[in-house]
Amino acid sequence: MRLDTSGIIVANRGHGEHGAVIRLLTEGHGLQACYVRGARGRRLRPVLIGGNQVHAVISSRTDAQLPQATVELVHSRAPLIREPLPAAAIDWACALTATALPEGQPYPRLYAALDGLLAAIEAAPAASGWGAALVRYEMLLLAELGFGLDLASCAVSGETTDLVAVSPRSGRAVAAAAAEPFAGKLLPLPAFLTTGGQGGGWAEILDGLTLTGHFLGRDILIDRSRTVAESRSRLIDRLRRAAGIA
């Protein structure tokens, strides 16, 4: 097997004295795990950072062997490590991707969405500029893995307007009138997820993350992923502090 591809570093775990096993999300070949010699050295350490865009040549002699890779940096997001909130967002997005996706299965829409999310985190002066993109990425990941939410119409009345909540059991939207008797039992549905807007303020972003967090925790981040879920909790805490919400 030999792949010559670009990709986004989504995981890096030390292996042996000098090497590491990394995971790359690629557009055409999905998630790829490979061993990189000298990964802990001065030259490669800043290259193999989560969120970095790289070019990799991946090869193995047999299907049973862990592939090895040579990696070159294409675009670095390492400076964002010094910024607590962007660093937490990149850490979470990469950890979710590396944990949730099966290896070797292409998800071109997710690749494009993750690339766009990372670019938004890098470019926006504040988290309010990329928070909605993070919610949408989580929504897309749920959908690509077969756990998509149905936000097209109300689960009770069939209405397609004034959708304000989501059933935590069915994942279907609920209109305002139908939601009233179930106050406190439904999940909030921010307007930008149904109108296609760029996203509202902090409250809508946090509502969106509450919504996606419920279904990620129920359907994807189960026992083996508890430590990954902690990464998300740290991000939410930092977002709430940035928003001035205790």
Question: What pLDDT shows up at residue 246?
Answer: 60
pLDDT at 223 over 80: no
Backbone angles phi, psi at 136, to 5 degrees: -65, -35
Question: What pLDDT shows up at residue 204?
Answer: 94
Q: Where in the chain is the domain with CATH 2.40.50.140?
A: 2-76
> What is the third-level CATH fold of 80-243?
de novo design (two linked rop proteins) (1.20.1440)
Whole-structure pTM value: 0.94
Over residues 62-76, the mean pLDDT reads 92
Considering the chain, what percentage of its residues have pLDDT values greater than 70?
Answer: 99
Q: Where in the chain is the domain with CATH 1.20.1440.120?
A: 80-243
pLDDT at 92 over 80: yes
pLDDT band at 130 (very low <50, low <70, confident <90, very high): very high
By DSSP bridging, strand 2-15 and strand 172-175 are unpaired
Sheet holding 163-166, edge to edge: 150-154, 172-175, 163-166, 187-188
- Spelled out in words, what is the top-level CATH class assigned to the domain 2-76? mainly beta
Average of per-residue pLDDT values in the chain? 93
